[in-house]
Amino acid sequence: MVKAKAVTKKAKKKEKTNPKTAIANKKIEKSLEIVEKEMDEITKTINGKQNNESDKETTIKASKPITQLKRGDKINVDSLNLEIDSHYILIDHGSTKEMAIELFDPKTDKDYQLRYFLDQVENSLEFYELQEIIYVKRKVDKIEW
C-alpha cells in the first residue's frame, strides 16, 4: 500500500502544468488555427472558387490501370504535361492503402502530387501542387494517362 500512495503522489505532481507551458500551448493552438484559415483561403484562391462537393466531377481517361503507372510515364492534368517521378504507398490504413504519385513539370520544374485510395480510385483521386513546403489541393477538370 505504501508504494501505491507514493506512485499516486508522483502522478499528481506530473499532472500539474506549469503556467508558462499552458500559455505557450494556447499560443501554439491559436497560431495553428490562423495557419489553417490562411491555408483554406489560399486553396480557395488557387481553385478560383470554394471547394464544394457539388462542383463538376473530374474526368479520368486511362490507357492502363493507375496501379501500373511508373517512373517516366506521362500524365496530362488539364493543360499540364507532367512526368511521374515516383509511385508509392503514402499511408497503409490496413483495409486500404492511400497511394501517392509524385509528378513534375519538366518545363517549369514544379512539383505536383496525385493521391488516391487503392480501393476507390475514381472517387478519391485528388491533385496537389507543391507551394513552398506544403502541398495545396487544386481542383482539376481532366486527368489522363
How does residue 30 score in pLDDT terms, banded at 50, 70 and 90?
A: confident
Q: Letter for the amino acid at 142?
A: K
Residue showing cell 499532472: 15
> How many percent of the chain have pLDDT more than 90?
55
Q: Please, which pLDDT band fits residue 22 given cuts at 50, 70 and 90?
A: confident
Kindly state the cell numbers that stand for 134. 506544403
Confidence band of 49 (pLDDT split at 50, 70, 90): low
Beta strands in the chain (DSSP E): 59-61, 74-77, 80-92, 97-104, 111-117, 126-131, 134-138, 142-144
**Residue 85 carries which side chain, given as an amino acid letter?**
D
Q: Please report the pLDDT score of residue 53 as a whole number.
A: 47
User: Which residues are within 8 A (CB) of 121 and not within 5 positions of it... i.e. 6 or more apart?
Assistant: 66
Average pLDDT over the chain reads: 83
3-state secondary structure of 96: coil
Residue 17 has pLDDT above 80, yes or no: no
Q: Does 1 score more than 60 pLDDT?
A: no
51-60, 98-107, 119-128, range with the lowest pLDDT: 51-60
Q: Which residues pair with 80 in a beta bridge?
A: 77
